[in-house]
Amino acid sequence: MAEPTRVVCPGSFDPVTNGHLDIIERASRLFDEVVVAVLVNESKKGLFAIPERLELIAQATSHLPNVSVDSFQGLLVDYCTDVGITGIVKGLRTASDFDYELPMAHMNTHMSQVDTVFLATSHQFSFVSSSLVKEIVKGGADATGLVPDAVLARLQETLAP
Ligand code: PNS
């Protein structure tokens, strides 16, 4: 029998958006197990602390039984090797995402056996990023539909003018 397919959706997730969730949900239909892994980056604090990012992702993915949440430090390929993950899943919104992601995919394959699978982000989320969502909430605009409701509430508490 074939080994179960175990992949990672890595990122900063500061915070998770509906664009991320689109990719996570679709990955969960394609692969046996999906780990959403949040990068712990000591040199970049971010808006939300890592435990809160993990909690918000866990809440938003609680309906997906084959999705789990974790954090990692250092190289993604080392994390993958440590936990037995053979594939990385990333969403592509635009050509500039592809230009940014392709060298990382090649470098990760150069360093390890871990391959990257790109999914085209659904068109309704092609303009959504964590940084733009934070910017518009800070400016007083409504981000309903761009992030899960629990994330929207936390963004409004934290950033809204
Ligand atoms: O959500 P982001 O910030 O675009 O995610 C980027 C992330 C975390 C996927 C990427 O920076 C990463 O994999 N970092 C871990 C360090 C690493 O492995 N660097 C070498 C990449 S070839």
Tens digits of residue pLDDT in 34-69: 999 999 998 998 999 999 999 999 999 999 999 999
What is this structure's pTM?
0.97
Taking the CA of residue 105 as reference, the ligand 1 atom at the shortest distance is: 22
Hey, which of 7, 8, 9, 12 would you mutate to test ligand 1's pocket, going by the most ligand atoms within 8 Å of its Cβ? 12
Torsion sign, CA atoms 77, 83, 86, 90: negative
pLDDT score at 19 = 98
Torsion sign, CA atoms 48, 40, 132, 147: negative
Contacts (Cβ under 8 Å, ≥6 apart) of 95: none
Is the per-residue pLDDT at 3 higher than 90? Answer: no
Tens digits of residue pLDDT in 119-156: 999 999 999 999 999 999 999 999 999 999 999 999 99
End-to-end CA distance of the chain: 56
pLDDT score at 2 = 80
Residues in contact with ligand 1 by the CB-under-6-Å rule are 10-12, 39, 75-76, 104, 107-108
How far apart are the CA of 11 and the centre of ligand 1, in A? Answer: 6
Give SS3 for 42. coil
Backbone angles phi, psi at 35, to 5 degrees: -105, 125
Rounded to a whole number of angstroms, the CA Rg of the chain reads 16
The answer to whether the CB of 7 falls within 8 A of the CB of 88 is yes
Tens digits of residue pLDDT in 152-161: 999 999 998 8
Torsion sign, CA atoms 6, 77, 46, 49: positive
Tens digits of residue pLDDT in 66-124: 999 999 999 999 999 999 999 999 999 999 999 999 999 999 999 999 999 999 999 99
Instruction: Please report, as a single letter, which amino acid is at residue 119.
Output: L
DSSP state of 64: -
Is the per-residue pLDDT at 1 higher than 90? Answer: no
Whole-number Å distance between alpha carbons of 83 and 74: 14
| Active site (catalytic) residues | 20, 44, 93, 130
